[in-house]
Amino acid sequence: MFYFYDSEQTAENANYYKGKLFENVLKRYLQELGFAVELRQKRNSLEYDLEGTARLDGRRLYGEAKAHGKPIAGEVFSSFVGKLFPLHAQDRQLSGVFLSTSALTSEAEDYLRSLEGTGLKLRVFTGDKLLLDICSVLGLPQSHTVEAVARDLNVFPLSMHLLVTSSGPFLLQVCAGDGGATPSAFLLVREDGRVVSDALFLQAVKQNLSDLKELTPILPQNRQSVGRKDIPEGLIVGNDWADYRLPAPPQFFVGRDAITERLLSVLTGAANPGVVQLKSRSGVGKSSLMAFLTARLQQSGVSVQLYDARNIKSVLDVWSVVQRFTAANSPPADGGDVETQMCAILSRPVSRSVLIIDQFEYTFAFPDLFEAYELSPCGRQATTTRQCSIRPEKRSAYDLRRFKDFS
């Protein structure tokens, strides 16, 4: 995953600096590959993010740079190809390159395959593939070297990312504390392999990157003692009938039989339900229903995990949940890894796996976090969305008898 930080950025102009920093690191990357590169050049009233000339043979290069969080849609990718074809008709030797922080959607990949046989020389590098190639071409330290540094500092390496700043690129290693399995700390490694020791810079990065705000920056002066940060599974529920301030525990859950059976039928049926949304106003009993539904699914032998969204505070936390849910060896490094890990569930011997996120409205205030969920629930293999609305006609403290069915 790519991160971007400029000391001049604010909440209002962060996207501008994100695009600018991405283009600058790509310019350096292409220069190392043997091209003289200019940024944002216009040809026939159309702008190209990257325009280069090969020093060896004068071959022209035109590139697109997309620092997007969401996968690249087919229309975005085809728009760039459409700009290339008139130039390709005039110069059959030119090359195109599409460089993106996020992967192509299946529609964009289908369109890319349709270009075979056209003679257009187009290379596509996205997500983690692009990140690793940039690190290799720029001569940044290898991942095993950075992981060894983290272990020497008494933290456990989880995932490595690239932080692009106005002063150059850094490797950003996300780590777990002693005995932990979820992100709790991070360290920055310079191009020369040394760990960044500037506490003010580390704090500035931490405060400006939402994924790092809950993490402890690691300093190289001494071995670290980082507290364990965990993402608890399950919900906090009441202890008895009278505890109305918390969701009802499964053993005290009553009523709502129709919607419970409907949900169980959808989640355990032969068809893949994709994403099911349970929607209603606050206080109706959605959390109580989720806790009860989890217990019923577990009794049926379904692999199910339930989380309170308020405990999942960053994209890194979302991906940590994905790793736990899919039982992968390492957390995803980008959206492509998320899809790979989620789709691997389809080959499991278990009949069904269900991931439940309660209090999802918490994510609406955090766009990056919300987008991470869009990438994570089911990849591109199961995109069906079913909606269910809860509407009580008679409401008491513990028994909501009737609910509207699926829409």
- For the stretch 182-213, pLDDT in tens is 888 999 999 999 999 999 999 999 999 988 98
The Cα–Cα gap between 260 and 304 comes to 16
Please say if the pLDDT value at position 401 is more than 70.
no
User: What φ, ψ does residue 159 adopt, rounded to 5°?
Assistant: -150, 150
Structural domains present in the chain: 2-135 (3.40.1350.10), 140-217 (no CATH), 250-389 (3.40.50.300)
Please check whether residue 237 is in contact with residue 252, taking contact to mean a CB–CB distance below 8 angstroms. no
Q: Quick check: helix, strand or coil at residue 26?
A: helix
Please check whether residue 176 is in contact with residue 158, taking contact to mean a CB–CB distance below 8 angstroms. yes
The predicted structure's pLDDT at residue 243: 67
Which conformational region is residue 114 in: left (phi greater than 0), alpha (psi within -120 to 50 degrees), or beta?
A: alpha
Please say if the pLDDT value at position 241 is more than 80.
no
The predicted structure's pLDDT at residue 269: 76
Please say if the pLDDT value at position 161 is more than 90.
yes
Q: List C-alpha distances in Å: 394 to 116, 163, 257.
A: 62, 54, 14
Please say if the pLDDT value at position 107 is more than 60.
yes
Please say if the pLDDT value at position 407 is more than 80.
no
The predicted structure's pLDDT at residue 54: 93
Please check whether residue 219 is in contact with residue 273, taking contact to mean a CB–CB distance below 8 angstroms. no
The predicted structure's pLDDT at residue 342: 81
The predicted structure's pLDDT at residue 246: 78
Please say if the pLDDT value at position 274 is more than 50.
yes
> Which one of 160-169, 276-285, 338-347 scores highest in mean pLDDT?
160-169
The predicted structure's pLDDT at residue 100: 95
Please say if the pLDDT value at position 362 is more than 80.
yes
The predicted structure's pLDDT at residue 249: 81
Mean pLDDT, all residues of the chain: 83
pLDDT band, residue 406 (cuts 50/70/90) = very low
pLDDT in tens, 367-398: 888 888 876 544 343 344 455 555 443 333 32
Name which of 297, 288, 302 is nearest 236 in CA terms. 288
Please check whether residue 164 is in contact with residue 22, taking contact to mean a CB–CB distance below 8 angstroms. yes
Average pLDDT over residues 108-131: 92
Helices 367-375 and 335-344, axial angle in degrees (round to 10): 40
Q: Could you report how far apart the first and last alpha carbons of the chain are, in Å?
A: 37
Residues 214, 370, 324, CA angle at the centre, nearest 5°? 65
pLDDT in tens, 43-71: 878 889 999 999 999 999 999 999 988 88
User: The whole model's pTM is what?
Assistant: 0.76
The Cα–Cα gap between 52 and 61 comes to 5
Q: Quick check: helix, strand or coil at residue 18?
A: helix
Which neighbouring-strand residues pair with 353? Answer: 303
Strands of the sheet containing 121-126, edge to edge, are 35-43, 46-54, 60-66, 95-100, 121-126
> Which one of 34-38, 236-240, 284-288 scores highest in mean pLDDT?
34-38
Please check whether residue 334 is in contact with residue 131, taking contact to mean a CB–CB distance below 8 angstroms. yes
Please check whether residue 154 is in contact with residue 223, taking contact to mean a CB–CB distance below 8 angstroms. yes
The predicted structure's pLDDT at residue 388: 54
The predicted structure's pLDDT at residue 344: 80
The predicted structure's pLDDT at residue 400: 31
Which helix (H) or strand (E) segment holds residue 297: the answer is helix 286-299
Please say if the pLDDT value at position 42 is more than 90.
no
The predicted structure's pLDDT at residue 45: 80
